[in-house]
Amino acid sequence: MPGWVLLALGIGAAAAGAVLIAVNGRLGIWTILLGAGAVGMLAGIGLMMAGGNRPAATIAKAALKNLSDAQRRLNSAAQSARRDRAGLSEMSKEMG
């Protein structure tokens, strides 16, 4: 989850808690909302500072690079298997 989403949810929960305080709402509910808001905001800021808000293009570029590397290794393994199979076939013809 991107950091900005957690930050926005935290701000929203804290705002809801503040509104409940203003209208003399139940103690337990606004306490939970303020606490959850603070935790959400801190987690969101932490993720944003740690790089959890990378753009989708960067993630897609890394995934494409990993995919092309995997395809290259797979093709190399398939070529090796074909060579081995051809060698075994020749060897079996020689042995009768």
The per-residue pLDDT for range 48-80, each reduced to its tens digit, is: 888 755 676 777 888 999 999 999 999 999 999
The residue with tokens 């957690």 is 6
Q: Whole-model pTM?
A: 0.49
Judgement on whether residues 67 and 89 belong to the same structural domain of the protein = yes
Judgement on whether residues 6 and 25 belong to the same structural domain of the protein = yes
Judgement on whether residues 59 and 49 belong to the same structural domain of the protein = no
Judgement on whether residues 88 and 71 belong to the same structural domain of the protein = yes
Q: For residue 89, give its domain range.
A: 55-96
The residue with tokens 């808001």 is 37
CA distances from 79 to 9, 11, 22, 90, 93 (A): 52, 56, 72, 17, 21
Judgement on whether residues 61 and 92 belong to the same structural domain of the protein = yes
Q: What is the pLDDT of residues 6-57, one digit of tens each?
A: 889 899 999 998 898 889 888 888 889 889 999 989 988 888 888 755 676 7
| Structural domains in the chain (count) | 2
Judgement on whether residues 63 and 17 belong to the same structural domain of the protein = no
